[in-house]
């Protein structure tokens, strides 16, 4: 028995947590536990004391109103988040918080919300709502499957690296259907809800692998003590989601 132990920071679970995003937390926790790692979950909501140390960070989506509630608090804790990014902490940001990790989000109604500039892009709300099942191809992670629902049109700067370079179904970052999500350091940003990680567990394992690198641990993923049928169920979920029309 080892004493491996990690802390996962869940950013704004009260205001930014829709369309099954909570499942991302469950997948990360379970897969870490099946590798023999104990997990502590730290919820951070606006106005609270921001944790000084954590191994992983995840954040989900929300309505424009939820984003306008948290965005100023996010500015307050941006320094700590950016130091964690620079220190190689793996993070997953979905939709609403993905947008706020960019430069800014200008909703259809109301004033522009500042982002914290981790990702080199900006987002502007527009009339066509992008709703449906997405299939996107990523060089790093293979085919990614999820559900999108956003009005925000995210345009990557020239320096930005997309998470997926090809859209096979759905929209992804914007109505041009050119790419999906964004990647920087050990941070993954995406529009995919649904939840993301149960259907794309390769990203969860990549994130846990980054934690292991940061901690100097050797992990044997081939020996993960997961339920016998989990991979079959995952494949069934992927096949079923892929076959649904947009
Ligand atoms: N409010 C944002 C948009 O519509 C984010 C939506 C979401 O998180 N699903 O673009």
Distances from the Cα of 24 to the Cα of 29, 35, 113, 126, 206, angstroms: 9, 17, 25, 28, 13
Query: How far apart are alpha carbons 199 and 181 in whole angstroms?
Result: 16
Q: Give the Cα-Cα-Cα angle 7, 227, 235 (nearest 5 degrees).
A: 100
165 is catalytic: no
H or E element at residue 84: helix 64-86
Number of structural domains the chain divides into: 1
Give residue 1's pLDDT.
56
Is the N-terminal amide bond of 169 cis, ω within 30° of 0?
Answer: no
- Residue 117's region, left for phi above 0, alpha for psi from -120 to 50, else beta, is left
229 alpha carbon to ligand 1 midpoint, in Å? 34
- Per-residue pLDDT 10s for the chain (246 aa) are 579 999 999 999 999 999 889 999 999 999 999 999 999 999 999 999 999 899 999 999 999 999 999 999 999 999 999 999 999 999 999 999 999 999 999 999 999 999 999 999 999 999 989 999 999 999 999 999 999 999 999 999 999 999 999 999 999 999 999 999 999 999 999 999 988 999 999 999 999 999 999 999 999 999 999 999 999 999 999 998 888 877
Q: DSSP letter at 244?
A: S
Looking at residue 244, its pLDDT comes to: 80
Closest C-alpha to ligand 1, atom 1: 64
Q: Which of 71, 150, 182, 193 is catalytic?
A: 193
Atom index in ligand 1 nearest the CA of residue 94 equals: 8
Please choose from 66, 96, 124, 181 the residue to mutate so as to test ligand 1's pocket, defined by most ligand atoms within 8 A of CB: 96
C-beta of residue 6 within 8 angstroms of C-beta of residue 56: yes
Range of the domain at 177: 5-243
User: Which residue in 145, 154, 85, 96 sits closest to 123, CA to CA?
Assistant: 154
Please say whether the beta carbons of 98 and 12 come within 8 A. no
- Residue 149, classed as helix, strand or coil, is strand
Ligand 1 near 128 CB (within 6 A)? no
**pLDDT score, position 30:** 98
Structure tokens at 207: 């994130």
Tell me the two tokens of residue 75.
């500015």
Pocket flag, ligand 1, residue 112 (CB < 6 Å): no
Q: Tell me the helix, strand and coil percentages in the chain, rounded to 5.
A: 30, 30, 40
| Residues 184 and 140: beta-carbon distance below 8 Å | no
Which CATH number belongs to the domain containing residue 23 in this structure?
3.40.50.880
The alpha carbon of 227 is separated from its chain's Cα centroid by a whole number of angstroms, namely 24
């Amino acid at each position: 028995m080892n004493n491996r132990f990690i802390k996962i920071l869940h950013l704004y679970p009260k205001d930014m947590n829709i369309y099954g995003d909570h499942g991302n937390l469950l997948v990360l926790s379970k897969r870490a536990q099946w590798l023999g790692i104990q997990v502590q979950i730290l919820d951070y909501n606006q106005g609270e004391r921001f944790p000084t140390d954590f191994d992983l960070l995840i954040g989900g989506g929300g309505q424009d109103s939820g984003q306008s509630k948290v965005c100023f608090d996010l500015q307050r804790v941006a320094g700590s988040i950016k130091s964690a990014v620079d220190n190689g902490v793996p993070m997953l940001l979905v939709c609403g918080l993905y947008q706020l990790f960019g430069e800014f989000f200008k909703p259809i109604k109301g004033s522009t919300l500042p982002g914290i500039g981790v990702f080199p892009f900006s987002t502007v709300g527009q009339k066509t709502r992008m709703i449906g099942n997405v299939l996107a191809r990523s060089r790093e992670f293979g085919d990614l499957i999820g559900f999108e629902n956003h009005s925000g049109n995210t345009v990557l700067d020239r320096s930005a690296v997309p998470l997926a370079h090809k859209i096979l179904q759905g929209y992804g970052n914007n109505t041009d259907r050119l790419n999906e999500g964004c990647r920087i350091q050990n941070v993954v940003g995406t529009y995919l809800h649904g939840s993301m990680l149960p259907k794309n567990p390769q990203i969860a394992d990549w994130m846990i692998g980054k934690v292991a690198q940061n901690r100097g641990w050797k992990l044997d993923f081939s020996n993960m003590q997961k339920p016998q049928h989990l991979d079959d169920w995952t494949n069934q979920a992927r096949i079923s989601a892929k076959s649904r029309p947009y």
